Amino acid sequence: MPIRLFLLLIGWLLAGQALAASLTVALGTQSRTWQSAELLRHPQARTLHIPDDVAYKRGMTYRVVPVAALLPGLTAQDHVQAVALDGFAAELPAAPLLATGKTRAWLAVEDPAHPWPPLAPGKPSAGPFYLIWSEPAAGHIGPEQWPFQIASLRQLASVAERFPAMRPDPALAADDPVNRGFALFQKNCLACHRLNGQGDAQFGPDLNIPFSPTEYFSQGFLQRYIRDPQAMRRWPQAKMPGFSAQVLPDEELALLVGYLQHMAGRKAGQ
């Protein structure tokens, strides 16, 4: 074999090894690390087409494994956090992850031999692992429930247990609008924002200290900002996505703002 061809072959093999990745799944006291090659040949692996992919904004086809297959022993009452390579931490109730109906959670696995396209020019792909959903609208799955570049999945206590400073007034009923807004905050905001100094996110600012956005946005402007941040405040490094009425209906947006207003009166240390 000519030396140049041999070196090219070695380089190709090393490149494939460099792209290979591992996923840590920590459930209670048990932890397992999956290699991408293992997942690609998992007994339940299949090919799945997503017609409107959240990360790529177009149709994409992936090799996937049901997320439920990677979470043995979990129940619908449990809670999972998906942590990305850059620190993005998506809080995910276990119930939809374990569901096997029309809306279903899948772990898309990037094949080192056939890498996915970059998310944008100069950016990496959504790999090595990406949580995607079939029929997401039927299960009211939002964009923040599509974490990509995942490094680990781990079972944790609920957000309310881990971060008590985020909890609304305990005297409120479970179905009070403020508690419903708290659930929406967990679903849509907690992956990027902290509140009262608590949370695992490393991206956006704290949404209550020193001030809640409900204290410095004029009436109605906070809702407009959540709908389209770039239309209200534009700068090159801005990362906050807009939440359309399809993703966050007006009623839910009002509940979310209601929770933030409530928490403005419950600042940490006050």
pLDDT in tens, 20-31: 799 999 999 999
Residue 14 pLDDT class (50, 70, 90 cuts): very low
Q: In what order do the strands lie in the sheet with 46-50?
A: 46-50, 60-66, 104-109, 129-134
Where in 179-266 does DSSP place strands (E)? Answer: none
Residue range 160-264, CATH number: 2.60.40.420
Residue range 22-156, CATH number: 3.90.420.10
In this prediction, residues 241-252 reach a mean pLDDT of 84
Q: How confident is the model at residue 239, as a pLDDT?
A: 67
**Which is nearest to 185 in space by CA: 217, 213, 149, 152?**
213
Beta bridge partners of 9: none
pLDDT in tens, 80-97: 999 998 878 889 999 999
Q: How confident is the model at residue 244, as a pLDDT?
A: 80
Q: How confident is the model at residue 235, as a pLDDT?
A: 60
SS3 of residue 91 by DSSP: strand
Residue 237 pLDDT class (50, 70, 90 cuts): low
pLDDT surpasses 50 at 260: yes
Domain boundaries, the chain: 22-156, 160-264
pLDDT surpasses 60 at 4: no
Q: How confident is the model at residue 204, as a pLDDT?
A: 82
> How high is the mean pLDDT of the chain?
88
**Which is nearest to 131 in space by CA: 103, 96, 95, 105?**
105
Pair 168, 183: CB distance under 8 Å:
no
Q: Is the pTM above the cut of 0.85?
A: no
pLDDT surpasses 80 at 1: no
Q: How confident is the model at residue 5, as a pLDDT?
A: 41
